[in-house]
């Protein structure tokens, strides 16, 4: 059996409640022929419960949070715990997004804690990583990705990895309109699979979904998704337009 095919939309800090409801409704209608594709909506915190309720009866539709706290509970004003997300039937958490690493200075240690709490609360994780432009220019992109993966994944067991998906997101491609070529994406995804194989096993590496993220859109998705080791996409900007997002879902 082949690996799952997955399209996830990261809405970031966009939409209000009315916009979120109509976006979900339009995505539902526009993707109703794609039941075999796993679809995940990473909505902002205030709209997660609405998203869960509106997607409850849909096939292969899941809801994810864009972050969770590194703490379990307590006096951490403004934080949202993994347990809270689990209690509203959220399915996924995004961990390690480059915007969190850059703007909120999240470290590998914090990412490990977030993943631990997510898994302990029966949430699945999409773990994001990827190199900066300077690192690629200097030929350091493989070493960067290897370190990002090893530093975090070494804290988890092969069993736990069944609930972690990976998202390779070269930072220079996120929100820039510049995307990795299919060759660059394939080369890196195959490399990521080799790292996972060394850390765990070949079977686990072959079963692991690895998504590509970085200016993936309705025009370039099918080229990217046709790469042997690309199992789908994590979509930012284009996930805010239902038509574009549904075209991406249909791009396998």
| Residues taking part in catalysis | 97, 169
CB closer to ligand PEP out of 94 and 118? 94
Q: Does 10 bind ligand PEP (CB under 6 A)?
A: yes
Q: Does 232 bind ligand PEP (CB under 6 A)?
A: no
CB closer to ligand PEP out of 54 and 220? 220
Q: Does 170 bind ligand PEP (CB under 6 A)?
A: no
Q: Does 220 bind ligand PEP (CB under 6 A)?
A: no
Provide, rounded to whole angstroms, the least separation between the CB of residue 83 and ligand PEP: 25
Read out DSSP for the chain? Answer: -PPP-EEEEE--S---HHHHHHHHHHHHHHTTT-TTSEEEEE--GGGHHHHHHHHTTSTTEEEEES---SSSSSS-TT---HHHHHHTT--EEEE--HHHHHHS---HHHHHHHHHHHHHTT-EEEEEE---HHHHHTT-HHHHHHHHHHHHHTTS-HHHHTTEEEEE--GGGTTTS----HHHHHHHHHHHHHHHHHHS-HHHHHH--EEEESS--TTTHHHHHTSTT--EEEESGGGGSHHHHHHHHT--
Provide, rounded to whole angstroms, the least separation between the CB of residue 29 and ligand PEP: 22
Residue range at the interface with ligand PEP (CB under 6 A); choices 16-24, 31-39, 203-211, 232-240: 232-240
By CB under 6 A, name the binding residues for ligand PEP. Answer: 10, 169, 174-175, 213-216, 234-238
């Amino acid at each position: 059996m082949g690996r799952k095919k997955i399209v996830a939309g990261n809405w970031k800090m966009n939409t209000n409640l009315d916009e979120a409801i109509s976006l979900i409704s339009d995505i539902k209608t526009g993707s109703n022929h794609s039941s075999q594709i796993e679809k995940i909506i990473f909505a902002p915190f205030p709209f997660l419960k609405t998203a869960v309720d509106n997607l409850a009866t849909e096939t292969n539709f899941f809801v994810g949070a864009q972050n969770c706290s590194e703490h379990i509970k307590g006096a951490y004003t403004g934080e949202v715990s993994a347990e809270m997300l689990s209690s509203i039937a959220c399915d996924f958490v995004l961990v390690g997004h480059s915007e969190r690493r850059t703007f909120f200075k999240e470290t590998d240690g914090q990412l490990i804690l977030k993943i631990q709490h997510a898994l302990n609360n029966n949430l699945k994780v999409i773990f994001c990583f990827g190199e900066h432009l300077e690192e690629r220019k200097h030929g350091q992109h493989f070493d960067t990705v290897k370190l990002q993966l090893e530093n975090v994944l070494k804290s988890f067991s092969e069993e736990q990895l069944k609930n972690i998906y990976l998202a390779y997101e070269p930072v220079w491609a996120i929100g820039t309109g510049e995307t990795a070529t299919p060759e660059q994406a394939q080369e890196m995804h195959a490399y990521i699979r080799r790292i996972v194989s060394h850390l765990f096993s070949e079977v686990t590496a072959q079963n692991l979904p690895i998504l590509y993220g970085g200016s993936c859109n309705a025009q370039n998705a099918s080229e990217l998704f046709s790469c042997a080791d690309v199992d789908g996409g994590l979509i930012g900007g284009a996930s805010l337009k239902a038509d574009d997002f549904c075209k991406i879902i249909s791009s396998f």
